[in-house]
Structure 1
């Protein structure tokens, strides 16, 4: 798995994930989210367009990140999941809870 972080001029952050988000790589995502969740009122978009597979470890990292962002007065939104991941998020009931958007731009704008 590869993770990259881009800071935007409006203080939001886009975290892009590529590859498999599973027990072997979940620590990388957790560490990355820990870094950006430490900011005041964190506003984070996780770009999932390159995620090929996700297991419960990956889902847990996204849920914990969402909860921490909300507790800090901010948000964590998911963007552009592929068909597999969209179905997984729907099946486990996370689509409405986490805020899933079709594109990174829509997630940044909250639309």
Structure 2
């Protein structure tokens, strides 16, 4: 798995994830999330367009990140999940809790607080 971070001028952060998000690679995402969520009122977008597979540990990292961002007055949004991942997020009941956008640009453009 490969994870990259881009800081934006509006203080939001885009984390791009490529590869499988599973027990073997989960530490990379959780470490990255820990770093960006240490900011006050974090605004984080996780670009999932390059994720081919996600297991429960990956879902857990996203939920924990979302909860932590909200507790600190910010938000975590998911962007561009594959059809598989979109269905998975829906099936496990995360889509009502965590905002999911079709693209990173859509997630960045939404100025409403989550």
Equivalent residues in 2 for 1:11-22 (5 A)?
Answer: 11-22=11-22
Instruction: Say which structure is richer in helix.
Output: 1
| 1:109, distance to aligned residue in structure 2 (A) | 2.1
User: After superposition, what is the alpha-carbon deviation per residue over 1:57-78, rounded to whole angstroms, capped at 9, x for unaligned?
Assistant: 0000000000000000000000
What residue ranges of structure 1 are gaps of 5+ in the alignment? none
Distance 1:69 1:109 in 2: 19
Question: Unpaired runs of 5+ in structure 2?
Answer: none
Pairwise CA distance, 1:110: 2.3
Aligned residues: 111
1:94 aligns to 2:94 (yes or no): yes
What do the CA deviations read for 1:23-79 (whole angstroms, capped 9, x no partner)? 000111000000000000000000000000000000000000000000000000000
Partner of 1:65: 65
Structure 2 partner of 1:77? 77
Q: Aligned runs of 1:43-54 on 2, under 5 Å? A: 43-54=43-54
Of stretches 88-97 and 53-62 in structure 1, the one that deviates more from structure 2 is 88-97
Aligned to 1:36: 36
What is the deviation of 1:108? 1.4
TM-score, structure 1 normalization: 0.98
